Amino acid sequence: MSALKDAGHLFRFAGLFLLAFLAFLVIRHFVVPKSFGQYGHYRAAAIGEIAAHPIKFAGHQACEDCHTDIQDIKKAGKHAHVNCEACHGALADHAADPASVTPVKPDTAVLCVRCHATSAAKPAGFPQSTPHSDAPCQTCHNPHSPAIDAGGAK
């Protein structure tokens, strides 16, 4: 047994290790989030947290539910598949409480040009135009159905 006596200090060192390891396990039990590992090596609760972020764009369905007159004009024209908020910007707060937020009419001088300004980089079949009038675009082109013969100015 003298061998063990002379190795006593090693057992103390190992004992310290063991103590630290047990302390680690205890702390770990309290610190690791409860939902961790539910679906994989991550905190499952994060999925719900991310899904709960606030929404800024209402989506065209919400607009069409109320603005049926505009939708009637739009669905027959060239901008049928251009969603409302693509031009009008994010309006979820208007959809939630229409009276509280009045959407600002977009500036056609900037808006129309962004898509329709002529550039050789754009796909060939896409309608492009150089500025051909001093008047604002909507004088002749209804933004909801822009073809000239489709109904004229708004």
86 binds other proteins (CB under 8 A): yes
CB 103 within 8 A of CB 115: no
Applying CB under 8 A, the span of 93-101, 132-140, 141-149 interacting with other proteins comes to 93-101
Q: Compute the distance between CA of residue 152 and CA of residue 146 in angstroms, rounded to an integer.
A: 8
Kindly tell me which residue out of 70, 92, 140, 147 binds other proteins, with binding defined by CB under 8 A: 92
- Dihedral, CA of residue 42, residue 44, residue 47 and residue 49, to nearest 10: -110
Closest approach of other proteins to the CB of residue 105, in Å: 17
> Can you say whether residue 122 is alpha, beta or left, with left for phi > 0 and alpha for psi between -120 and 50 degrees?
beta
Nearer to other proteins, 3 or 104 (CB): 3
Q: Compute the distance between CA of residue 83 and CA of residue 62 in angstroms, rounded to an integer.
A: 11
Q: Compute the distance between CA of residue 32 and CA of residue 34 in angstroms, rounded to an integer.
A: 6
147 binds other proteins (CB under 8 A): no
Q: Compute the distance between CA of residue 136 and CA of residue 111 in angstroms, rounded to an integer.
A: 11
Binding track, positions 18-37, relative to other proteins; x by CB under 8 A: ------x--xx--xxx--x-
CA 146 to chain centre: 28
91 binds other proteins (CB under 8 A): no
Nearer to other proteins, 39 or 148 (CB): 39
Q: Residue numbers of the site for other proteins (CB under 8 A)?
A: 2-3, 5-10, 12-13, 16-17, 24, 27-28, 31-33, 36, 39-43, 46-60, 62, 65-66, 68, 71-72, 79, 81-83, 85-87, 89-90, 92, 95-98, 114-115, 117-123, 126
